[in-house]
Amino acid sequence: MCLAAARDPQCGTTRSHPVTEPRFVPLSYEALPADVMRTRAAEFEANLQRRRTVRQFSDQPVPRSVIERCLLAAGTAPSGAHQQPWHFVAISAPSIKQRIRAAAEAEERHFYQHRAPQEWLDALRPLGTDEHKPYLEIAPWLIAVFIRRFTRLPDGRKLKHYYTDESVGIATGFLIAAVHAAGLVSLTHTPSPMGFLTDILGRPKDLERPFLLLVVGYPASDARVPDITRKQLAEIATFLPPSS
Ligand code: IYR
């Protein structure tokens, strides 16, 4: 590896990234027969079809070890140049949850009362959302997801990461699926703007920005969810050629 912001004779050119030569190991892979593949894919889909976004949470605690496993699952996501540009802050401390709720509700009040165009409010109507976010205090865990746009090298220089939005979006999808697989429910909460998360959680402003806040826990015993359906395959996908 050579670090070459200053010209490094081993690298030949001026670079700002540490350069690591490619190194490969054999892929661990086992092919499945088509019928097993179909069954596995169908079971996976059926399980994900049972996932619902929930807005009424129980205050029943969830062990930290479960959250740790879900975060490890999120960390298996593919990422640009394998730079893993995510950071997760898992919060169970009531005092921090309280501060996050207060800040989020202040932003949301402004959103619902002033900022949101009528078209957006109309789109949200079926979900029954408003500026009140009690779940931010009730749910046992909040996971703030941050995008690491840069990393700081030991010499103080900032190293740029690539496809950070895509990478963190995928990791968050894995996280949501992991939480569901663990038998818990979640809510993807995107207060806007959410710079307050950077401040409250003490994250580096020059390197990261908040992506979203995942609320995680058990559903309240009387939780209700919007009566919605999901798009059919033909609406979300195109096959070329159309049939085989
Ligand atoms: N952030 C607001 C509004 C909101 C926006 C979308 I897009 C949603 O799918 C749901 C809510 C809120 O959390 O209420």
CA of 124 to the centre of ligand 1 (A): 7
- Nearest-atom index, ligand 1, CA of 116: 3
In a domain, 64, yes or no: yes
3-class SS of residue 186: strand
Instruction: Identify the pLDDT of residue 18.
Output: 72
In this structure, which residue's CA is closest to atom 9 in ligand 1?
124
In a domain, 95, yes or no: yes
Per residue of the chain (244 residues), what is the pLDDT tens digit? 334 343 343 433 444 667 889 999 999 999 999 999 999 999 999 999 999 999 999 999 999 999 999 999 999 999 999 999 999 999 999 999 999 999 999 999 999 999 999 999 999 999 999 999 999 999 999 999 999 999 999 999 999 999 999 999 999 999 999 999 999 999 999 988 999 999 999 999 999 999 999 999 999 999 999 999 999 999 999 999 998 7
Alpha helices (H) along the chain: 34-49, 64-74, 94-110, 118-124, 135-138, 164-181, 195-200, 233-236
In a domain, 66, yes or no: yes
Q: What is the CATH number of the domain that holds 185?
A: 3.40.109.10
Torsion sign over Cα 207, 189, 83, 13: negative
Instruction: Identify the pLDDT of residue 12.
Output: 37
Which among 172, 166, 135, 125 has a CA at the least distance from the CA of 149? 166
In a domain, 169, yes or no: yes
3-class SS of residue 34: helix
Per the structure, the complete domain to which residue 181 belongs is given by 53-221
Instruction: Identify the pLDDT of residue 7.
Output: 39
**C-alpha to C-alpha distance for 40 and 100, rounded to whole angstroms:** 40
- Nearest-atom index, ligand 1, CA of 123: 7
Which among 48, 56, 66, 78 has a CA at the least distance from the CA of 169? 78
In a domain, 234, yes or no: no
Number of independent structural domains in the chain: 1
In a domain, 230, yes or no: no
Instruction: Identify the pLDDT of residue 13.
Output: 40
In this structure, which residue's CA is closest to atom 2 in ligand 1?
191
In a domain, 34, yes or no: no
DSSP string across 122-179: HHHGGGT--S--THHHHSSEEEEEEEE-EEE-TTS-EEE-SSHHHHHHHHHHHHHHHH
CA of 83 to the centre of ligand 1 (A): 30
- Nearest-atom index, ligand 1, CA of 192: 1
- Nearest-atom index, ligand 1, CA of 130: 14
58, 219 Cβ separation under 8 angstroms:
yes
80, 162 Cβ separation under 8 angstroms:
yes
CA of 190 to the centre of ligand 1 (A): 6
Cβ of residue 11 lying under 6 Å from some atom of ligand 1: no
In a domain, 235, yes or no: no
CA of 131 to the centre of ligand 1 (A): 9
